[in-house]
């Protein structure tokens, strides 16, 4: 299978590209290496992927020659985008419309009429739900994002549905619920917690810490992508990818303390605009459609991320 992974040098993109190569698939990785976080981290990921046999292309989806990039591609995994709830307010919003909406529309337009293309898997987000009407939240719930970031992810998802309905582009959108694991972005909570548990230092919590999240381990997300690429699914489908943990941030810290065997220093600061009080995904649709279910428990995943952080500390 010939695959294109956009955002290949990012967190999920690196794990997905590595898994694809391990199974013998051809992988072209596309990444623009934006500076939302340390670019060198992504360049190191790209170097490792190149060694693994991934053909890496540095390019902006809004500019690159997509006809050439998509030539002969069987499956597109569209993970590229501008992340982050906090940064999506104010003057930075244009980066989100550019990288999340315009880039997706251009990719979809270039995918029209391509006979070789069997699937385009889009990485959406549970942020589209906002404070949902009910939990666990199914795909039929009314989307009501609380952040500009969530608005742009939902807009791109709607574009995927439109291009499927109007031009038969074989899209499927996966709504990720709080992905974590080794290699996670440095600004994300689990990475900050894991590094504090491994090295000491203070953890900053936004709000009370009683906000509840449905944490999903990265290998389970990768598996959902592979099943979405190969399985029988209607074009334009939208599916939740959720780990089923439903625990508070404070409980996560307690698990990190148990795993590390040490107490963590925690500082609470004001909650941020756009931060939802709870997430929790109903995964019955993806289970019945693709046979997917989460296999990594929260404690197991936290232990893996803690060991990864310990390894980083030893390498310094």
User: Could you tell me the two tokens for 78?
Assistant: 């569209």
Rounded CA gap, 255 and 260, in Å?
8
Rounded CA gap, 219 and 277, in Å?
26
Cα dihedral sign for 66, 72, 75, 77?
negative
Tokens 């069997």 belong to: 118
C-alpha closest to that of 306 among 268, 267, 265, 255 = 255
Query: 3-state class of 176 per DSSP?
Result: strand
The active-site residue out of 122, 149, 176, 217 is 149
Buried b (16+ CB within 10 A) or exposed e, 20-57: bbeeebbbbbbbbebebbeeebbeebbeebeeeebebb
C-alpha closest to that of 13 among 162, 164, 150, 176 = 176
User: Could you tell me the two tokens for 13?
Assistant: 């993109």
226 sits in which H/E element: helix 218-230
186 sits in which H/E element: none
238 forms bridges with which residues in the sheet?
A: 173
User: Could you tell me the two tokens for 226?
Assistant: 């592979």
Active-site residue flag, 98: no
The contacts of residue 107 (CB under 8 Å, 6+ apart) are 6, 61, 66, 76, 78, 120
239 sits in which H/E element: strand 237-241
Rounded CA gap, 204 and 131, in Å?
23
Active-site positions read: 149
């Amino acid at each position: 299978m010939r695959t294109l992974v956009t955002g290949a040098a990012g967190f999920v993109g690196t794990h997905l590209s590595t898994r694809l190569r391990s199974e013998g698939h051809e992988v072209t990785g596309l990444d623009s290496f934006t500076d939302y976080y340390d670019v060198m981290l992504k360049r190191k990921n790209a170097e490792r992927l190149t060694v693994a046999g991934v053909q890496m292309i540095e390019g902006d989806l809004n500019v690159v020659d997509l006809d050439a990039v998509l030539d002969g591609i069987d499956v597109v995994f569209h993970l590229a985008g501008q992340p982050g709830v906090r940064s999506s307010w104010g003057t930075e919003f244009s980066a989100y419309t550019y990288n999340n909406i315009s880039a997706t529309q251009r990719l979809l337009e270039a995918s029209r009429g391509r006979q070789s293309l069997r699937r385009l898997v889009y990485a959406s987000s549970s942020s589209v739900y906002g404070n949902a009407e009910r939990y666990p939240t199914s795909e039929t719930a009314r989307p009501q994002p609380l952040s500009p970031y969530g608005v742009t992810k939902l807009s791109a998802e709607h574009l995927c549905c439109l291009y499927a309905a109007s031009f038969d582009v074989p899209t499927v959108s996966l709504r990720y619920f709080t992905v974590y694991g080794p290699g996670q972005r440095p600004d994300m909570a689990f990475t900050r917690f894991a590094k504090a548990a491994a090295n000491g230092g203070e953890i900053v919590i936004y709000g009370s810490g009683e906000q509840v999240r449905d944490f999903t381990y990265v290998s389970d997300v990768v598996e959902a992508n592979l099943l979405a690429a190969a399985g029988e699914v209607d074009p334009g489908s939208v599916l939740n990818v959720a780990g089923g943990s439903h625990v508070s941030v404070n409980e996560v810290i307690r698990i990190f303390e148990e795993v590390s065997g040490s107490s963590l220093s925690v500082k609470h600061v004001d909650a941020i605009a756009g931060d939802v009080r709870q997430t929790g995904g109903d995964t019955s649709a993806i289970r019945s459609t693709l046979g997917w279910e989460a296999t990594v428990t929260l404690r197991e995943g936290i232990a893996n991320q803690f060991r990864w952080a310990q390894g980083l500390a030893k390498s310094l």
